[in-house]
Amino acid sequence: MAGSESRLAALGRIGFIGAGAVGSALARALAERGALVAAVSARTPAHATALARVLPDATAMAEPAEVAAACELIILAVPDDAISALATSVPWLAGKSVVHLSGAQGAEALAAAAERGMHVGALHPLMTFPRDTLGTPVEQILARLAGCTWALEAADARLAAALARLVAALDGQVVRLAPTDRVPYHIAGVLASNYVAALLGTAVRLWQPFEPDAQAALRALLPLLKATVANLEAVGLPEALTGPLARGDSGTVAAHLAWLDTHAGINPDAALRDAYVALARLALPLAEAKGTLTPEAAAELRRLLEGDSA
């Protein structure tokens, strides 16, 4: 992809501090698209060495300071709690750029680097990555990134434009965040990914009395989840909402609540009733927006969810 190569070549030498799943995936994807990924360091030197071996132009370096000296764009692919410490401890060279990949923290985490004349930013891919990134074919990494949305925060216009080109070269799209957008953005990602996994884990536990094999239960439930995602892609919201809330089936909801009342004190489902009610309350406005509920059905569902069956 010649266009991608020219866009990425303009970024200059790129260095990665951190060689975990996200950093390794991004380094490999950028190198595959023609970027000059020149240096890698990591808390565990063997991880930096392993990543550098699969990159055509990269050298594993012992210290973050070496990466900062060797590269024009430095990407911090480290845990959230390490970002500010690195911003403070690395001897940055004014005029270069440093970006972190955290979804939870904004560019202000790099304030110490900015005070030393660095251009700073935050760039977060709204995506999950396999732990064994080095064992994953780079084509699969690029396919995973295709269509991915990246949250971009950078006050410097040139850096923002450069990062937007980086995202475009990976077939992604950018959403620009202000500092005040960071927390709701991250909550949305947690709900759309992490808590979906948590809900599937709870669903698997509910199957244990009749399917004690957790992997078998997960295999049985996954087609339903996949169909839900496909429906969301096909028709969007609120039309993709199905089930008893969307139908206004108060009898089914009442039966669910009665069962949950009976089992509320049994671990690990002690919080399940609260979660069910909270999710139902979030789903009810979607059901109303879908237009499948009468006002009477919606009112009855609200009474049930508030604990008033009268």
Read off the pLDDT of residues 209-252 as tens digits, 9 standing for 90 and up.
999 999 999 999 999 999 999 999 999 999 999 999 999 999 99
pLDDT at 264 over 70: no
pLDDT for 33 equals 95
Structure tokens at 148: 């991915």
Give 310's pLDDT tier (boundaries 50, 70, 90): very low
pLDDT for 138 equals 95
CA distance 114 to 105: 15
pLDDT for 309 equals 45
**Inter-helix orientation angle 195-206/214-235, to 10°:** 130
pLDDT at 259 over 70: yes
pLDDT at 173 over 50: yes
The residues with which 150 forms a beta bridge, in sequence order, are 125, 174
pLDDT for 132 equals 82
pLDDT at 269 over 70: no
pLDDT for 221 equals 97
Q: What is the mean pLDDT of residues 65-79?
A: 97
For the whole model, what pTM was predicted?
Answer: 0.88
Pick the closest to residue 63 from 41, 46, 79 (CA basis).
Answer: 41
